[in-house]
Chains A and B, each alone.
Chain A
Amino acid sequence: MSGFFDIPSDLQHSWLGLVGLHLREALLPVLAGLVVSLPLAQLCVRLRWLYPPVLWVTTVLYAIPSLAFFVLLIDYTGQTELTVMIPLTVYSLVVLVPAIVDGVRSVPPETLAAATAMGFGPVRRYFQVQLPIAVPAVIAGLRVATVSSISLVSVGALIGNQGALGNLINDANIYNRPELAVNAVLSMAVLAILADALLVAVRLLLTPWMPRAGRRRPAADVPDPATAALEDAVR
C-alpha cells in the first residue's frame, strides 16, 4: 500500500525532512549543554566545594521525567521545538559536567606547573593545555549525551507533534501501522550510531598525539578512567 519511507501526510515532512528536524532538535541542545557546562565545570574545578552540590542539582533535574518536563514548559514556551530542546539541554549537563571536570582534573600537575613556568596565564593555560588534554573525556561525555538526546527527542511527540521521527511512533499507534514504528526506531538508532562514530572521528582528529594504530591495545590494557567516571556520572 505504501513504501517504508512513505510518511503519513499529517506530519507534513518527508522522511529526510524528519531526519533533519530530528538532528536539529537533538544536537542543538547538546551544543547548548556544552556551552553551559564548560564554564560551569571550570568553576567546579576552581572551587572544589561547588562540585558536589552541582552534581546533586543536575542529578535531580535529570530525574525529572522528560514528559513531565515538557508538559511543565508548555506553560512558558508553548508547544514548540524550544519546549523539547530545553529539557534535553538540562539533561546533557548531568553527563557533560562530570566528564569535563574529570577530564580537566586528569591533567597532571607537572604539566600545569610546566605551562605556568613557561609563562602561560590562566586563560591561555586553560585553552592550550587543559582543554586539549581533556578532549578525550569531553568527547566521551558528548557521545553519551548525543546518543541519549537523539533517542529522547521522540518523547516530544506526546506534546503535539514536536518529536520529529518520534511523531512516526505516534502515527504508528494511531493508524495501526507498526512498520512506521520500526522505521522510526531504526532511523533513530542509525542516526545515533552515526553521530557516535562521527564524534569518535572528531576525537581522533583533535588528539593527533594519541596513539592511533595501537589504539586497541592500550584500551584493553589500561581501563579508560573517563568511561568509568562517566557511567558513574550520577554520583
Chain B
Amino acid sequence: MNLLHFINAFFGDGAHWHGYNGIPTRVGEHVGYTLQALAIAALIALPVGLVTGHYGRGGNVLAMIAVAGRALPTFGLLVLMTLLVGFGMVNVMTPLVVLAVPPILVTTYEAMRSVDPSPVDAARGMGMSEAGVLFQVELPAALPLILGGLRSGAIQIVSTATIAAYVSLGGLGRYIVDGLYQRDYEKVVGGATLVAGLALVTLAVFWALGRFAVSRGVRQRA
C-alpha cells in the first residue's frame, strides 16, 4: 500500500523534525490557530446560546443564523477576506470562526432547552435568581451536550485550519499546499496524517474534559 509507504517516508525523514518547517513547529502553529479560532467562536456563541436557551426564545432565528453561517463557503471567505484586508490573521480567523459558531450556537441552545424542567422549577421555587438557575442548575446539566458542540466546532477548525497555508501562513496545511505544488505526495500524505491525528487528539481531549468537568450525577444519567 503506497499510502503507508508515504507515511513511513515522511515521518522517517529526520529533516521533517527540525527548524521552522519542522513537524513540532507546524503542529504548534496549527494548535495555536485552532485554539484562537475556537476561543473566539466560543466567546461569541456560548453566551448567546446560553441566554437564548435559558429563556427559550429565538430558536428559529438561531437556526437561520446557523444555516447562513454554514452556507458561507470557508475557502471563498478566506480568499475574499485576503483580497479585502490583505495578509494576516484576520482573514484566516474570520472563516474559521464562521465555521465553528453554528455548531456551538445550535448545540448550546438545544442543550439548554433539553434540560429537565422540574429541577429548574424547583430551583426557582427555592428562590434562586435567574443567573443562579442558569449557572448552577441548567449549565451543569446541559454541559455534556454543550461540550459536544464545542467538540464538533473544534474538529471542524482542526481540519479546516489547513487553508491558512493557502494565504501563506503556517500550520499543517503548509505540508499539504507545498506538497501539492511540489508534486511531493509524501509531504501531502504526511500533512494529512498529522491533521487526522490532531483531530483524534482533539476527540480525546474533549473526552477527558467531559470526564473531568461533567458532574457525576449527570454523567451517570447520560
The chain A residues found within 8 Å of chain B, CB to CB, are 59-60, 62-69, 71-72, 75, 143-144, 147-148, 150-152, 154-155, 157-159, 166, 169-170, 172-173, 176, 178, 181-182, 184-185, 188-193, 196, 216, 219-221, 223-225, 227-228, 231-235
Q: Mark B167-204, 1 if CB is under 8 A from A, else 0.
A: 00000010011011000010011011001101110010
In the assembled complex, which residues on chain B have CB atoms less than 8 Å from the CB atom of A181?
76, 79-80, 83
The answer to whether B83 touches A235 (Cβ under 8 A) is: no
The answer, among B60, B73, B152, B162, for a CB contact under 8 Å with A188, is: B73
Bound together, the chains give a CA A150 to CA B148 distance in angstroms of: 24
Known: A71-B179, A178-B84, A231-B148. A154 touches B160 (CB 8 A): no
Known: A189-B68, A225-B114, A228-B110. A63 touches B75 (CB 8 A): no
The answer to whether B110 touches A189 (Cβ under 8 A) is: no
Known: A64-B192, A72-B188, A228-B107. A151 touches B79 (CB 8 A): no
The answer to whether B191 touches A155 (Cβ under 8 A) is: no
Going nearest first, the 4 A-B pairs with the smallest beta carbon separation are A63-B199, A192-B71, A68-B192, A223-B113
A226 CB, min distance to chain B CBs, angstroms: 10
The answer, among A176, A178, A231, for a CB contact under 8 Å with B80, is: A178
| Number of CB contacts from chain A to chain B under 8 A | 169
In the assembled complex, which residues on chain A have CB atoms less than 8 Å from the CB atom of B59?
219-220
Known: A68-B176, A69-B192. A151 touches B74 (CB 8 A): yes
The contact sample of 5 A-B pairs, CB cut-off 8 A, is: A67-B177, A68-B195, A166-B76, A191-B71, A231-B110
